Amino acid sequence: MSNPRTEPGQPAEPDPLAEWMDAASQALGLTADSPDAQQRRLLLAVARDVAHAVARPAAPLSTFLLGVAVGRGADPEQAAAALAGLARDWPDQPAPDEE
């Protein structure tokens, strides 16, 4: 995989995230469904929004739900926007009292 930030005319550098996603997709038998760069950015943006607005552990679980929704036919951009909006509107939670 090449890194899209490589300057034109320069040798392509490996993109570790793309390589990981390709390997993970292949390990799960999803080789035709490995997310492209735009899809990865969409997933990472949703994870970031949820982690910052709700809780860090909610990020991977939310991207899982996004994947389930898309797998069932939801539009990826609309589903991501719905989750991002939900996270944006999520009420602030007080930090738990430490004993």
Instruction: Specify the pLDDT at position 98.
Output: 43
Q: Determine, yes or no, domain membership for 55.
A: yes
- Taking the C-alpha atoms of residue 12 and residue 18, their distance in angstroms, rounded to an integer, is 13
**Residue 21 burial (10 A CB sphere; 0-12, 13-18, 19+):** buried
Q: Which residues, at least 6 apart from 53, have a Cβ–Cβ distance to it below 8 Å?
A: 87, 88, 90
Per the structure, the count of domains in the chain is: 1
| Residue position matching structure tokens 């926007």 | 81
Q: Does residue 47 belong to any structural domain of this protein? A: yes
38-51 tens-digit pLDDT? 999 999 999 999 99
Neighbours of 45 (CB within 10 A): 14
Under the banding of pLDDT at 50, 70 and 90, the label for residue 64 is very high
Per-residue pLDDT band at 65 (split at 50, 70, 90)? very high
- Please give the residue range of the domain that contains residue 62: 35-89
Structural contact between residues 80 and 46, judged by C-beta atoms closer than 8 angstroms: yes
